[in-house]
Amino acid sequence: MTKINRTPADKKPYNLFGTLAWEECEGGVRIAALQEKAFSVTIPREIEGMPVVALGNGCFVGQETLEEIILPDTLREVATSPLRAVGRCGCWTSPIRWRCWAPT
C-alpha cells in the first residue's frame, strides 16, 4: 500500500489506490483526493476489501478538466463541498455529470 503525505497538521498519510487518495472511516473508506487531472473518474465499490462509503470535502479540488464522476452504489456520504476550489465558488453549480452504477 502506497501512502502520500498530508500537511504537518494532519495525523497520518493517505493511502493510494491508483490515483485516488483514501483513508479509513466509519463503515469503510472515504475518498480524500484525486491525485491527477482527469476527464472522467470511476470511484470503486471497494478498496482493500472495504466499501467506499464517502467522498471527502474538497476531494476533487483543482480538477478543472473533470466532466464525469461515476459513483458506486456503496456511497452513503458526500461532503458538502467535494468540488470546493474547482473554480466554481465551492458550490454544486457545475457541468459535471454524476452517475451511479451497480455491478452487473
pTM (predicted TM-score): 0.72
pLDDT in tens, 45-81: 999 999 999 998 888 887 878 878 888 889 888 886 6
Residue 87 has pLDDT above 50, yes or no: no
The third-level CATH classification (topology) of the domain covering 2-101 is: 3.80.10
Model confidence at 39, pLDDT cuts 50, 70, 90, reads: confident
How many Cβ atoms from other residues are within 10 Å of residue 49's Cβ? 7
Cα angle 19, 63, 58 (rounded to 5 degrees) comes to 85
Residue range 31-46: average pLDDT?
89
Q: Rounded to whole angstroms, how far apart are CA atoms 95 and 66?
A: 9
Q: How far is CA 86 from CA 63, 90, 94, in A?
A: 6, 7, 9
**H helix or E strand, kind and range, residue 14:** strand 14-17
Residue range 80-88: average pLDDT?
54
